[in-house]
Amino acid sequence: MSLSAAAKAVTFILTRDRDRAMAYYSDVLGLRVAHVDDFAVVYDVGGAIMRLTTIPDHTPGPHPVLGWMVDDIAATMTALRAKGVTFNIYDGFGQDAEGVWTAPGGAAKVSWFNDPDGNLLSLTQS
């Protein structure tokens, strides 16, 4: 058996501090809480489900764990900066002064930022 096209995706974001992470994802990023229980804070993220799960000794990895496709990356970055988000600029990666990397040929623009636990998140405009 394989997954059907109707199967909803679920992603897991790990946090050391649930209250701090919940405030970030709800208030800063503007995600809608769908459900809260003893195990997770569940968000509806564009029809997919994101489970914010507490792991006291969580250490984030170096690669993105979640990203969003946006229509206007510059406007989205401006709005998030107004809420305190800082975008990452990586030495030698060729990003512009705002932190946007443009794929060869201009097919996509990508930026990266971290949540309070250090989980790497991204924005993509294509």
pLDDT in tens, the chain (126 residues): 688 888 888 999 999 999 999 999 999 999 999 999 999 999 999 888 999 999 999 999 999 999 999 999 999 999 999 999 999 999 999 999 999 999 999 899 999 999 999 999 999 999
Q: What pLDDT is recorded for position 1?
A: 63
In order of start, what are the domains of the chain with their CATH numbers?
Answer: 10-125 (3.10.180.10)
Please report the DSSP string for 20-73 in residue order.
HHHHIIIIIS-PEEEEE-SS-EEEEETTEEEEEEE-TT----SSEEEEEE-S-H
- Residue 26 CA: distances (Å) to CA of 62, 88, 110: 23, 21, 22
Neighbours of 108 (CB within 10 A): 14
Tokens matching residue 71: 């229509």
The rounded distance, in Å, linking the Cα atoms of 86 and 81 is 6
Q: Assess contact for 24 and 11: CB atoms under 8 A.
A: no
Q: What pLDDT is recorded for position 109?
A: 98
pTM given for the model: 0.93
